[in-house]
Each structure stands twice: as C-alpha cells, then as structure tokens.
Amino acid sequence: MDVVEWTGRTACALQRALRMTNDQFADHLGVAVRTVANWHAAPHIVPRSEIQAALDTAYERSTPSVQRRFSILTRPSPAAMEAQALRVAIAVVVRGDEVLLVCRRGSDALTWQFPAGVVKPGASPAVVAVEETQAETGVRCTVREALGSRIHPVTGVVAEYLACDYLMGEATNRDQIENADVAWVPRAALTRFIPEQSIYPPILEALA
C-alpha cells in the first residue's frame, strides 16, 4: 500500500476520489465539517496525527478504482515537476525575541510565511535572502548561518533556509500585490501563525 503524505491538498484529493460532499467526507472520517472546509481553504495545512490516521484508514479501505482516481488527482503536473528545479531562499530574520513574517496572498487564503525569493542560476541563496527581505519588508538583515535545505512538501521547490540577524529598518509591506501584511511576531507565538508541522525542524531548534 502506498504511503501518502497528508496535507489539505491530498485530503481534498481523496474526497474527490471518493466523490463525497464536505458533509459526507467529514462524517466518513469522523471530523468536523469545518475541518474539511479548512483543507479546501488552506491546502498547505498538515492534519493532526490522529486525523492523518483516519485518512490512512479511509484510503486503505477504499476500492481500487478510488485509489486509481486518487493517484491521478495527486500526480504532479508538468508545471509542478518543472517547479522542482526551482530554488528558493527563505530568510528567518530574528530581532531579539521576535521573528519577521509576511502574510502571503494565495488563491484561496492568506498564509503567514518567512520572507523568501527565487534563487536564479548562479545566484547566492544568502544574497537573495537578504535582498528579498529588504525588498518585501524594508528590513535590512545579515545571514548568520545556513539552517539546511529540503524539497518543500507543498510547493516541490528546493527550499534553502537561512538564519538572519536584524540590522535596521522598519517592517513595512513593500509588496502589496504578493503580501497582505508584514509583522514581527514573538518567537514563542510562531506556531500560532504557521502550523508547527509545516515548519522546517531546524528553524524551531534555532529559535528555541
């Protein structure tokens, strides 16, 4: 049996494969209808472990035709496969006990994220992280250390994470097309803005 990485997107794909309404799918899993609606609104969400177990059971007990439909619905598109070649520099900027976040405008919902920018061929992730942070937020920072990299579980891009120290500048929304807001948030409150399961673990270690 295939192992599925459950996010709001893959959970909704299972719902479509089962051809169920939100109410039917919620009842099938034993969750609130609001939970299913949240998956549609924020595909990046990673369900809690007990809900992932319910999704595993629903998938494993489904018919072969449902599993085939699910496989087709979750198959990477050519655009997504091309995106895997992209590299993105992500700046984790710290000022005292605060960390800098931007609120991205998405097609379905607003999401809080760290400042980030695409790393073009030949460019340095550290330079991109510093330049994009200033361009997006007006904050000047310097890279302290690289925290590592991974294939992002939602976008499929190569994500390079860099711990940065604040130098100067007021946090303002300089890219109002991409972002709805910019804010310094307490380190201790970070998981109220970004689900803990979505945060690259070395970031949490660096901010502890």
52-96 pLDDT per residue, tens: 999 999 999 999 999 999 998 888 665 555 544 688 999 999 999
Which of the four pLDDT bands, split at 50, 70 and 90, describes residue 208?
Answer: confident
How many other CB atoms are there within 10 angstroms of residue 58's CB atom? 20
**Phi first, then psi: what are they for 109, rounded to 5°?**
-160, 165
Decide if 90 contacts 114 (C-beta within 8 A).
Answer: yes
Residues 6+ apart with CB under 8 A from 119: 87, 88, 89, 125, 128, 160
Q: Provide CB contacts within 8 A for 120, sequence distance 6+.
A: 128
Reported as a single tens digit per residue, the pLDDT across 117-162 is 989 888 899 999 999 999 999 999 999 999 999 988 777 788 999 9
Query: Which residue, 55, 18, 60, 5, is CA-closest to 35?
Result: 55
pLDDT recorded at residue 190: 95
Q: What is the pLDDT of residue 75?
A: 81
Count of other CB atoms within 10 angstroms of residue 20: 17
Local structure of 69: helix, strand or coil:
helix
- Residue 179's pLDDT is 92
Residue 27, SS3 per DSSP: helix
Residue 80's CB is within 10 A of a number of other CB atoms, namely: 12
Helices (H), 45-180: 49-60, 64-74, 78-83, 125-137
In this structure, what are the phi and psi dihedrals at residue 195, rounded to the nearest 5 degrees? -55, 135
Spatial separation of the C-alpha atoms in residues 157 and 66, rounded to whole Å: 29
Q: Tell me, what amino acid is at 174?
A: R
Task: Give the predicted TM-score (pTM) of the model.
Answer: 0.60
What is the rounded CA–CA span in Å between residue 45 and residue 76?
18
